[in-house]
Structure 1
Amino acid sequence: MKEIVIGENQAGQRFDKYLSKYLNEAPKSFLYKMLRKKNITLNGKKATGSEKLKEQDIVRLFLSEETIDKFSQVKVERSHGKLSILYEDKHIAAVNKPSGMLSQKASGSDVSLVEYLTGYLLESGQMKEEDFRCFHPGICNRLDRNTSGIVIAGKTLAGLQEMNEAFKLRSLKKEYLALVEGVVSSGAYLKGYLHKDEKCNKVVVEKEPFEGSVPIETEYRPLAGNQRVTLLNIHLVTGRSHQIRSHLASIGHPVIGDGKYGSKKSNQLFCDSYGVKSQLLHAYRLTMPELKGELNYLSHKVLTAPIPSDMKRVLEGEHIEESIHE
């Protein structure tokens, strides 16, 4: 017999859904048969599977260890490596993702921030492999592979749900730093329409709506610059794929180092001069909204990621004194 005490990450879901995760290789017909025969009980009583689980509920599996092992395969993909943690509490972690790291897997063989997060939680003792039977921590926002900066990870169900909702509602203020080509003397609020071609993983931006397009909004203001580049503070109002890079390129100010939407000539120049190999775009500040759930203690909290070394190297070489504080 195996006894399981329901924790906060399992509470709130139907009992049969939980069993399908815990005994993830078992047919549903087997689970319902075990419930009918009282080989699986909830708080010492016969259950139907439709019950809503609560914290501290007791689940008992009157099954052999061989049967449990056969039907319960814990699948934990992890990667070892040091993460730059900007902030952490019980529910969330704010990670400073480096350029070159995927936020999530694009294919089965990829290693992404999610696998590094899993490894970190296991190695720091915050989770055990057993915990992954019914809950997987994950990230709540994504950055392009070659964009650095703040990614929020949910370590608990409450953390994932509340942060995912905040990103979905666009109630967080997301600010980026971008070093762009040309002189930008004043700020602007850009509106446009974007369509992504999934085959070539590239987007098109136009001022007027067109078939398959979605509206985008990008606000920016110059911080510092010289006669060939400008450092911008960008407020990402909507959050579409490649939005900042394509929107800025559409007005003649592509991000330095951007091989997809930028200038080959400028990119080569900055590669030769400073070793720039990816876009100088950095998600540097995130301001939390008013939160009303378990994460209300995070209301209006500001998270900041330091300027990455490649951007800093160019700013120093171009004698641009960045001024990113209000």
Structure 2
Amino acid sequence: MQFTGTQPDIPIIYEDNHLLVIQKPAGLLSQEDHTGRPDALTLCKEYIKKRYSKPGNVFLGLLHRLDRPVSGVMVFAKTSKAASRISEQIRARKVRKRYRTVVIGNPPPNGVLEHHLVKNDVKNMVTIVDKATRKSKLAKLSFNTLLTKGSLSLVDVNLETGRAHQIRVQFAEIGSPIWGDKRYGKQTSSGSIALHAYRFTLKHPTLDEKMTFTADLPDSKPWTEFK
């Protein structure tokens, strides 16, 4: 596998003239914020600038985000045309994003979760509210519980909407918070949680063919409990 050669080093899943697909490590920001911590967008721009000897500013379109403690597939657009076309797919809900997560407890074998969410940008917290609440947004996902061991369950999640902290807050709401999630599960955390974006499917912006990118599950606790 190829890597960006940055600090931290990021695995590259796929690259062509239009797309750069990486496996974001847990603990890495998706884009720059006020903290000054390293972020995936800036590091990937550095990689492109160095590898292709690009002068000046490098264009790289941020198409979606993963929370800092979440690992997995992230897709960037290397051209404005690709950014526009894939962003339209995302708005039309034509991309498919699947996650694996380890939750505390024993959720149902399968199900659909629908809630209305409101985000407090100051506190960076998402709250489940009544449908009639002003500025609330529908959050929907479906899931299958793959395996349960003791107090932990491995769950496959199909994300139908892409709301901030959606999976984290929705599973906490049904009494099965994500392992390591101190924000919504009130647990201790080492900077990562057991939530991994393992599959992303889209239509290539110029080749007119469906492509699926996958990222292996982390080789660390609690994932190793389900190997």
Output the TM-score relative to the length of structure 1: 0.64
State the match for 2:177 in structure 1. 254
Shift in Å, 1:140: 1.0
- The 1:143/1:225 distance shift into structure 2, 3 A limit, reads same
Query: Unpaired runs of 5+ in structure 1?
Result: 1-78, 322-326
Partner of 2:54: 128
Match of residue 85 from structure 2: 162
Spell out, residue by residue over 1:54-107, the C-alpha distance to the aligned partner (whole angstroms, 9 max, x if none): xxxxxxxxxxxxxxxxxxxxxxxxx93332101111110111000111111112
1:225, distance to aligned residue in structure 2 (A): 1.4
Q: How do 1:44-63 residues align onto structure 2 when only pairs under 5 Å count?
A: none
Q: Which has the higher contact order (CA 8 A, sep 6+)?
A: 2
Is it true that 1:90 corresponds to 2:2 in the alignment? no
Give 1:208 deviation, angstroms.
3.9
Asked if 1:80 corresponds to 2:3, the answer is no
Q: Which residue of the partner structure matches residue 95 of structure 2?
A: 172
2:199 maps to 1:285 = yes
Higher strand share: 2
Match of 1:304 among 214, 218, 223: 214
Is 1:116 matched up with 2:43?
A: yes
RMSD over aligned CA atoms reads: 2.0
Give the letter aligned to residue 302 of structure 1: T
2:217 maps to 1:294: no
Aligned to 1:45: none
Cα pair 1:99 1:147 within 8 Å, conserved: yes
Farther-moved stretch of structure 1 (102-111 vs 181-190): 102-111
Identical counterparts, % of pairs: 29
Q: Does the 8 Å CA contact 2:217/2:223 hold for their aligned counterparts?
A: no
The structure whose Rg is larger is 1
CA shift, 1:185, in A, is: 3.8
Structure 2 runs not aligned, ≥5 long: none
Whole-angstrom CA distance in 2 between matches of 1:157 and 1:116: 19
Paired position in structure 2 for 1:213: 136
Distance 1:301 1:245 in 2: 27
